[in-house]
Amino acid sequence: MQETQINGESLDIVSENVSKLKDLFPEIVTEDKIDFDKLKEVLGKYTEEDNERYNFTWKGKSTASRLAQSPSTGTLRPCKEESKNWDTTENLYIEGDNLEVLKLLQKGYYEKIKMIYIDPPYNTGKNFVYADNYQDNLKNYLDMTNQFDEEGNRISNITESDGRRHTKWINMIYPRLSLARNLLAPNGVIFISIDDNEVENLRKICDEIFGEENRLDRGSIIWINKGSTKGFNKIVKNHEYILGYAKNSKLVESLYGVNNPEKMDFIQERLQIKRSPKNPPAKVKFPKGLKIEGHENIKFENVIGNGTNRIDIISGDLEFKNGVLINDVVLEASFPYKNQMIDFFSKIGTEEKTYDYKGQEWVEVYFTSTGVPYFKKLRKYKIISSILENVSNSGYNDLKKLDMENVFDNPKPVKLIKILIDYFTTKEDIILDFFLGSGTTIHSSLELSTKNKRIFIGIQYPENIYENDKNNEPSIKFLKNINKPLNISEICKERIRRAGDKVASEMNQNGQVSLDKNTKNNLDTGFKVFKLDSSNLSKWDPEYDNIEQTLLDSVKNIVPGRNQLDLIYEIMLKYGIDLTLPLEEYQIKDKTVFSIGFGALMVCLEDNMTSEMATEIIKLKDGLSPEVMRVVFKDNGFASDSDKTNIKETLKINGIDEFVTI
Ligand SMILES: C[S@@+](CC[C@H](N)C(=O)[O-])C[C@H]1O[C@@H](n2cnc3c(N)ncnc32)[C@H](O)[C@@H]1O
In the chain, where are the structural domains located? Answer: 2-45+56-69, 75-225+394-532, 272-371, 563-661
Give dist(CA 224, CA 239) in Å, integer.
4
Among 118, 461, 464, which is best to mutate for testing ligand 1, by the most ligand atoms less than 8 A from CB? Answer: 461
Is the beta carbon of 488 within 6 A of some atom in ligand 1?
Answer: yes
State the pLDDT at residue 498.
95
Residues facing residue 128 across a β-bridge: 157
Alpha helices, DSSP H only, in 153-248? 165-183, 199-210
Among 393, 436, 441, 498, which is best to mutate for testing ligand 1, by the most ligand atoms less than 8 A from CB? Answer: 436
C-beta of residue 103 within 8 angstroms of C-beta of residue 10: yes
Cα 122 to averaged position of ligand 1 atoms, centre (Å): 10
What's the CATH code, domain 75-225+394-532? 3.40.50
DSSP code of 152? S
Cα 88 to averaged position of ligand 1 atoms, centre (Å): 27
State the pLDDT at residue 475.
42
Inter-residue long-range contacts of 296-304, CB under 8 Å, 24+ positions, other chains counted: 296/320, 296/321, 296/322, 296/323, 297/321, 297/322, 298/369, 300/371, 300/372, 304/371, 304/372, 304/373
Q: What is the pTM of this model?
A: 0.80
Give dist(CA 331, CA 398) in Å, integer.
46
**Residue nearest ligand 1's atom 2 by CA:** 437
* Cβ contacts of 479 within 8 Å, gap of 6 or more: 403, 404, 407, 486, 491, 494
Give dist(CA 56, CA 345) in Å, integer.
50
Cα 387 to averaged position of ligand 1 atoms, centre (Å): 23
Cα 385 to averaged position of ligand 1 atoms, centre (Å): 25
Residues facing residue 215 across a β-bridge: 245
Task: Extract the residue ranges of the chain whose pLDDT is less than 50.
Answer: 148-153, 155, 467-476, 514-520, 540, 542, 547, 551, 554
Among 168, 176, 389, 435, which is best to mutate for testing ligand 1, by the most ligand atoms less than 8 A from CB? Answer: 435
Give dist(CA 329, CA 311) in Å, integer.
12
Q: Kind of pairing, strands 113-118 and 466-468? A: unpaired
Give dist(CA 306, CA 298) in Å, integer.
20
Quote the strand ranges of 230-338, DSSP E: 239-246, 269-272, 282-286, 291-292, 298-299, 303-304, 311-315, 319-321, 324-325, 329-333
Of 265, 189, 221, which Cα lies nearest the Cα of 429? 189
Cα 184 to averaged position of ligand 1 atoms, centre (Å): 20
* Closest atom of ligand 1 to CA, residue 122: 1
Among 123, 460, 492, 530, which is best to mutate for testing ligand 1, by the most ligand atoms less than 8 A from CB? Answer: 460
Map residue 327 onto helix, strand or coil. Answer: coil
**Residue nearest ligand 1's atom 19 by CA:** 97
Is the beta carbon of 97 within 6 A of some atom in ligand 1?
Answer: yes
Please report, as a single letter, which amino acid is at residue 652: K
Give dist(CA 455, CA 471) in Å, integer.
40
Q: What are phi and psi of 58, to 5 degrees?
A: -160, 170
* Closest atom of ligand 1 to CA, residue 395: 8
Give dist(CA 223, CA 145) in Å, integer.
33
C-beta of residue 541 within 8 angstroms of C-beta of residue 562: no
Cα 434 to averaged position of ligand 1 atoms, centre (Å): 7
Is the beta carbon of 464 within 6 A of some atom in ligand 1?
Answer: no
279 class by beta-carbon count within 10 Å (0-12 exposed, 13-18 middle, 19+ buried): middle
State the pLDDT at residue 406.
78
Map residue 538 onto helix, strand or coil. Answer: helix
Map residue 559 onto helix, strand or coil. Answer: coil
Cα 430 to averaged position of ligand 1 atoms, centre (Å): 19
